Structure 1
Amino acid sequence: MDDAVVSRKVWTGEVRSLVWDGDDLLDPVGGWRRWSPDGREHSRRRRGYGRAYDRAVTSPSGRWTVVYAERGTRGLLLDGRRVVRELRRDDHRAGQFDYPVCLGMLADGREVLVHCPERYARLEVEDVATGERLTTGGRDPVGVFHSRPAVSPGGRWLVSAGWVWTPAGVAAVYDLPRALTDATVLDGRGVLTYWPMIDAEADSVCWLDGDRLAVATGAHGGEPDEDDEDDDLELGQHQLGVWSFPAAKWLYRHDLPGPIGTILPCGETVLALYGHPRLFDIRTGEPVAEWPELVMPRREGSYGVNAPTPVAAVHPDGTRVALAVARGIAVIRIA
């Protein structure tokens, strides 16, 4: 536990979003406020984009940013700080689940925008620099309410941690290079032949690296069934699993003490943000550190009446996580 510490707290007022710029922290939604590693705010607050926007994602290169309303229908694509265009999502049940949008990088170095501009169930991939849609042709998607998409490091996979109607949280993973030659790849259930979290809901997911996905499940579903041939393939209630795509199996499956909410990758650990930050070893499932003094939203899943998603950013080197807390920022350093 001595290797994971809060390296600093910055009491600097409301922080609405966080992204890393080198070792500095930026708040795009809050008007591009900037903090240096010593915690000083060294730029004047600029005019923001309006109170309607409350979240931001940035591209791997740092050039592109999307500010958006988590439970709204609008977003803005920015090149640096310049607004390039407005984004919209399908308004069907938009107020009931998180806006589906992410920025990622393909294997050839092109950065892409992933979102659902026309239908809640239809993921589209666009070249962010040119605006060219890379997913073309006829489509017939299944009824997944896509949410919280994320491109894997290296650009091989795309995950959507959304939900299907009952409702139930699911994690669908797609072969991204194939989807760019045949967009209907994005219309099915993904590369897994089953949804391993269809019984125990997928609360949150994160990419550990280019081929491993961590999944945390919630309290619903996952009841044991003696006749279920897939019991050895599925996650149960309140479990943490790590799926390997090359091995096509769970590398680890561990019981959790309860909900852990949003998870973020930190090497061979994940930082869970439900209520307060806790660090879990993915190999053992054991908590190795926690910070109960840092109060976080009790957020589970992507849909329904829910607390807001915690504002957090993992440094590209994986050793620091910045968190928006009451009246400022806390930075956890993970050795």
Structure 2
Amino acid sequence: MPQFREHRIAAQNVKSLCWHDHYLVDWVGGGNIYHLDGSIQERHVNYAYRFDAAIVSPSGDFACIYERLGTKGLLLDHGKILREINRSFYQAHVYEYPVTFIQLADGRELLAHCPEEYRRIDIEDARTGERLTSSTTREPQDMFHSCLACSPSGRWLLSAGWVWAPWDVVALYDIPQALSDPTLLDKYGVAPETSAEVYAAAFSDADTVVLLTSEETNDDDDPLGRAGPHSIAYYDLLTREYRSIAQAEEVVGKLMPVGQDYIVGFYEYPKLFDSATGKVLHRWPDLPTGTQTGSIQWHIDSVPPVAIDLANKRFAVAGADAITVIEIVAD
């Protein structure tokens, strides 16, 4: 079983957390920087709005702060306001704002979000705002896109959203192909067809995505549909096959893959799951992380700031008086 290293940084009123290199930044709180040795660089910026979440681009040059259950976002370039972004009001109070950064092989950074319609993903140049997926032939399907994420390679785009009734679903897109043909963003892309309700997903490496299913299940012909409730599935985007499927013994919630063998689930508090057996191997019950499962969040209490660093196998959780960083080291 992996070992763990813990850091504790005394801090109050932390509003968001993003990793950049080996320190943390609270962009919503004005850009305060928190180092693992406990030192803090304070920046006194007040955005005078209800922003409560943030993401940062792979280079660290850009950040986006937004209202999780609202319609407004703000794009920052090295901490300075670049432009505002918006999404449709329709059901915006119900589910998480869809936005993520993409870094192409040449280093160019893009922004994926839904500025036109809740069901339409568009991709633009982060610096200039040039829309790269404009098309008069686009006819997007009726999906509420949310929880957007880009693979570490910059090739794949994930959307973990929902459709009416509501029912949680995922879509997966080949980014280079979508930039050549934006209509590819109008369906479910290369996501596996399944009768299971997939409420959350995350990339474990450049070409593998981890899918989590709810308690809703069907005895269907597809592997995930017949796997049973609360399943953890590793899906290979190159072979279009499942590498493994196991039932988790508890609700996982928001997740952080740790290679191919483990995942951290953040439902109620962080837990380390064995991906092959679904068993909980370790718990951090003193770090409350909320009860978020899928993209729909209107019915739950606010989620505390959590930052995930996939490459370095670590996560950070902000509490009332401190930020706790957990590093997962080798077995």
TM category (shorter chain) comes to: over 0.9
1:323 corresponds to: 317
Q: CA deviation at 1:33?
A: 1.2
Q: Considering only aligned residues, what root-mean-square deviation do their CA atoms show, in Å?
A: 1.8
Q: Is the deviation greater in 45-54 or in 81-90? A: 45-54
Distance 2:279 2:192 in 1: 30
Tell me which stretches of 4 or more aligned residues in structure 1 moved more than 6 Å: none
| SS of corresponding position for 1:96 | coil
8 Å Cα contact 1:14/1:328 also seen in 2: no
* TM-score between both structures, scaled by the size of structure 1: 0.92
8 Å Cα contact 1:203/1:262 also seen in 2: no
Q: Is the deviation greater in 169-178 or in 100-109? A: 100-109
1:212 corresponds to: 208
Q: CA deviation at 1:193?
A: 5.6
2:59 corresponds to: 61
Distance 2:291 2:3 in 1: 26
* TM-score between both structures, scaled by the size of structure 2: 0.93
Task: Name the CA shift for 1:310/1:235 in 2 (closer, same or farther; >3 Å).
Answer: farther
Which sections of structure 1, spanning at least 5 residues, go unmatched?
A: none
1:129 corresponds to: 127
2:234 corresponds to: 242
Task: Name the CA shift for 1:235/1:168 in 2 (closer, same or farther; >3 Å).
Answer: farther
1:223 corresponds to: 218
Distance 1:23 1:192 in 2: 33
Distance 1:172 1:61 in 2: 25
Q: CA deviation at 1:307?
A: 3.5
8 Å Cα contact 2:8/2:36 also seen in 1: no
8 Å Cα contact 2:232/2:246 also seen in 1: yes
Q: CA deviation at 1:245?
A: 1.2
Tell me whether 1:273 sits opposite 2:262 in the alignment.
no
Distance 2:85 2:227 in 1: 35
1:258 corresponds to: 250
1:106 corresponds to: 104
Distance 2:204 2:50 in 1: 32
Q: CA deviation at 1:129?
A: 2.0
Q: CA deviation at 1:231?
A: 4.7
Tell me whether 1:171 sits opposite 2:163 in the alignment.
no
Letter in 2 for 1:288: L
Task: Name the CA shift for 1:218/1:307 in 2 (closer, same or farther; >3 Å).
Answer: farther
Q: CA deviation at 1:174?
A: 1.2
1:10-30: CA deviation from partner (whole Å, max 9, x where unpaired): 231121111123222111101
User: How many corresponding residue pairs?
Assistant: 326
* 2:302 paired residue among 305, 308, 312: 308
Distance 2:256 2:144 in 1: 22
